[in-house]
């Protein structure tokens, strides 16, 4: 007489589908969905594969900036994979499933920690890229200034230059300006953000003799360069040094 086949091992309770927990996922038409599992359903390895495939697709969508797929959704997807895997392992080998929720909670914490690490790493990389861009911008400005200085060097022979230079040193030069300020000239004060790299100061480059002491101090602060001016320089010397700064003779 043939022995009775052992009863198939089944799920001890329901496991919801992911879109039951996050209904907005129904708005993603092309997302492969793993179905809910009803208590009493026979264990099947395909349930794990389906849940993993769903999670992999969610990760791809998150990387594609799909707003519906949040960190919470990814955490739920990972928890569902773990839940199915743990139930199958525990039931198959006659284990106890009472620790499943503790394992899920631990995984949730891990997912959040990983998410924070990824964000921190992204911000670090973003900062490094911004620093590189700033250096590239500065190199570009310096190249443009060389070309402008070359042209001004030719034209200064006629007594007048035509091209302003671009700001190439970041920040204000307030301290530089006040260091060469003569006693009868008001001090320079700056507020707000400094001028951007690559911008031009406000002055008529063709009329340097129109500049007074305050104008030159203001331009020192703007460009964050002292134009080789020293405290003892008189106004005519300051005008001359500022003019020569625009050429290759500087």
Looking at residue 6, the DSSP 8-state letter turns out to be P
Residue pair 17/50 in contact (Cβ under 8 Å)? The answer is: no
Same domain, 149 and 228: yes
Same domain, 230 and 144: yes
pTM above 0.85, yes or no: no
| Lowest mean pLDDT, pick from 71-80, 122-131, 152-161, 173-182 | 122-131
Same domain, 149 and 237: yes
| Lowest mean pLDDT, pick from 14-18, 64-68, 75-79, 82-86 | 64-68
Collapse the DSSP code of 42 into the 3-class scheme (helix H, G, I; strand E, B; otherwise coil) and give the result: strand
Domain extent, residue 208, equals 133-245
Instruction: State the Rg of the chain over Cα.
Output: 35
199 in a domain, yes or no?
yes
216 in a domain, yes or no?
yes
Same domain, 91 and 186: no
Instruction: Determine if residue 94 is left, alpha or beta; phi over 0 gives left, psi from -120 to 50 gives alpha, anything else beta.
Output: left
The answer for residues whose C-beta is within 8 angstroms of residue 109's C-beta and 6 or more apart is none
**Token pair recorded at residue 203:** 């002055």
Residue whose entry in the numeric block shows the structure tokens 């914490």? 109
Quote the number of domains for the chain. 2
Note the pLDDT of residue 10: 85
Residue 49 has pLDDT above 80, yes or no: yes
195 in a domain, yes or no?
yes
pLDDT per residue over 30-47, tens digit each? 787 888 999 888 888 899
Q: How far is CA 241 from the centre of its chain?
A: 41
pLDDT category, 93, cuts 50, 70, 90?
Answer: low
Domain boundary among the residues 95, 120, 145 is at 95
Domain boundary among the residues 95, 125, 156 is at 95
Same domain, 240 and 145: yes
Same domain, 142 and 231: yes
Task: Give the DSSP H/E element, type plus range, for residue 54.
Answer: helix 45-63
Average pLDDT score, the chain: 85
122 in a domain, yes or no?
no
Question: Helices H, strands E: what count in the chain?
Answer: 7, 0
115 in a domain, yes or no?
no
Note the pLDDT of residue 120: 76
Residue 5 has pLDDT above 80, yes or no: no
Domain boundary among the residues 41, 76, 95 is at 95
**Token pair recorded at residue 195:** 């001028």
103 in a domain, yes or no?
no
**Rounded-to-integer distance, Cα 58 and Cα 219, Å:** 55
**Rounded-to-integer distance, Cα 171 and Cα 214, Å:** 19
> Percent of the chain, pLDDT > 70?
88
Same domain, 137 and 80: no
Same domain, 196 and 139: yes
**Rounded-to-integer distance, Cα 63 and Cα 76, Å:** 17
CB 137: neighbour CB atoms within 10 A?
15
pLDDT per residue over 178-236, tens digit each? 999 999 999 999 999 999 999 999 999 989 889 999 999 999 999 999 999 999 999 99
Note the pLDDT of residue 140: 84
């Amino acid at each position: 007489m043939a022995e009775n086949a052992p009863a198939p091992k089944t799920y001890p309770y329901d496991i919801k589908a992911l879109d039951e927990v996050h209904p907005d996922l129904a708005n993603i038409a092309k997302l492969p969905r793993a179905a809910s599992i009803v208590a009493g359903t026979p264990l099947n390895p395909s349930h794990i594969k389906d849940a993993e495939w769903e999670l992999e697709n969610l990760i791809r969508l998150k990387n594609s900036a799909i707003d519906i797929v949040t960190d919470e959704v990814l955490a739920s997807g990972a928890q569902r994979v773990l839940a199915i895997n743990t139930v199958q392992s525990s039931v198959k080998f006659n284990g106890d499933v009472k620790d499943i929720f503790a394992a899920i909670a631990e995984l949730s914490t891990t997912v959040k920690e990983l998410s924070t690490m990824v964000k921190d790493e992204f911000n670090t990389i973003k900062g490094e890229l911004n620093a590189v861009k700033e250096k590239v911008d500065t190199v570009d400005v310096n190249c443009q200034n060389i070309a402008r200085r070359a042209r001004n060097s030719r034209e200064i022979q006629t007594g007048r230059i035509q091209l302003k230079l671009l700001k190439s040193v970041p920040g204000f030069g307030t301290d530089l300006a006040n260091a060469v300020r003569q006693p009868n000239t008001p001090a320079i004060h700056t507020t707000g953000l400094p001028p951007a790299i690559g911008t031009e100061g406000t002055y008529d480059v063709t009329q340097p003799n129109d500049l007074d002491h305050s104008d030159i101090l203001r331009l020192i602060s703007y460009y964050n360069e002292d134009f080789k001016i020293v405290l003892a320089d008189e106004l005519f010397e300051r005008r001359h040094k500022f003019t020569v700064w625009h050429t290759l003779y500087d």
